[in-house]
Amino acid sequence: MAFEPEELSPEEVTDQVDSVIEDNEVVLFMKGNELMPQCGYSKKALALLQQHRDDIETVDVLKATDAYREALERHSDRETIPQTFVDGEFIGGSDILEQLDERGELAEKVGQ
């Protein structure tokens, strides 16, 4: 018996993206999850955020990567993963988070 990942429709993904961004202060859309990031950029973004917050909502986009890219592009004008949102505002991916951290601005940006 093979493991079959749960598949989400594009409509379900769009609804989830909209509600998760609206309902959480800090959201990271990433490949994998907090316990097992599945790409280096997602791992870096998560580590940077966790330096400043414990209450990060993470969403694993691997269940429907293309649908997540499309849904996220409506909010950020980007389809790259990972993507971070704070109070409904798109902040950036791991590169932007790293730049903010180097300038000492990340803690304030994520509300700490």
Q: What is the pLDDT along the chain (112 residues), one digit of tens a residue?
A: 554 556 788 899 999 999 999 999 999 999 999 999 999 999 999 999 999 999 999 999 998 999 999 999 999 999 899 999 999 999 999 999 999 999 999 999 998 6
Beta strand ranges found along the chain (DSSP E): 26-30, 57-60, 83-86, 89-92
Domain boundaries in the chain? 8-108
Q: The whole model's pTM is what? A: 0.92
CB atoms within 10 A of CB 2: 3
Domain range 8-108, CATH class: alpha beta
